[in-house]
Structure 1
């Protein structure tokens, strides 16, 4: 699906350096790491919204730069940390996900089905005519996820999309996403949620520190080295690490 070859990116200082990574189709990847390590930057590169300073990114064996914006919008959806300040309804926001597929001045029956399905999955049916400005942070975040689901792309990029959600909605939405057989790449702060993915990518010091599959246990020693902490200071850390 994706091939990243020696990707580097910097602002005033290096953010990512010599990242080489293969992302398999229809697999779930999580990304974890300290604040400022480049997790969001990596997602923006995968979305085609940033260009690497060096190296190249291939999407389905084709340089990502060769795709038009509309072509990328049909392949990749991104749930970011954006904030909407206009008085749109939930339905209007979710329906924006269908714009890359829209062929006329109105939504087709298929468009409407996709919008309604996304709203239902995210538990927003009773909010669909509510103003986005009246929602809680968790409800708002679910609207952004629903918009991405309505976009119906084979690749879904999530930038801490579950940070404001109750556990009920986190598990419900994650379960629904996994069942859709999409290529999912999600940034997490909670390692226990990250471990639900097929592979967890650990980023540190602008590089890939390690990639660990779901079946591999994570030892307290690894956590000590990666997070630079003393695991002995934390109660029951062993059980946490093996999740």
Structure 2
């Protein structure tokens, strides 16, 4: 049996549903939102930026609602930075990443990541326990198709955990460069989830303190036609330092309890 099929979640599906992992040679390649070169450049940033590390802390706190024995499928997992944190926390996680470079990078950190999409797996109905989309949904053109597929494969008591960029008035050239289709509010994300057969159990904004710099240095210049290059590596506190670490602690403490933020997290279950 190939090494990747020894993952406990894949073994569970094989035993319970007689399901087999498709060969990557039979799967039609799917374009990733990011190039392989971009993925390689992001590998170090993902593991050093205070933004990613703080988001990991917020995600870990939010996931306490999930039973500890639930396996999580992280769709569009990139270089595996969230999987790494969840695995260290004792969670069973498997990643899906259409970028071959992203999947290879995640594997180099010891994570199980399949270079496939959810649709290509042909999973049985109501067969998996939890799915995550961490800053993925905004990249998808046909979001309802993906959400309906997640709804199909989730168990009735399963969970869908999502993070997305928030506040439509923070839209900027950064969103365009990142190939985002939109930024969300609690209302618009809830409406998308409801239309796909999900009930939102909990939702809330986070990254309150990033709103002022993003508004002043990204959104307002974009509104007036100025293209700025405030990237992840140049954003406030991007690589930590005393200020970054202090802000990280405050953001984690306030997460999902503030009236606004540059990111939004929602936890939902099938209706």
TM-score (norm 1): 0.30
TM-score (norm 2): 0.27
Compare relative contact order (CA 8 Å, sep 6+) and give the higher one, 1 or 2.
1
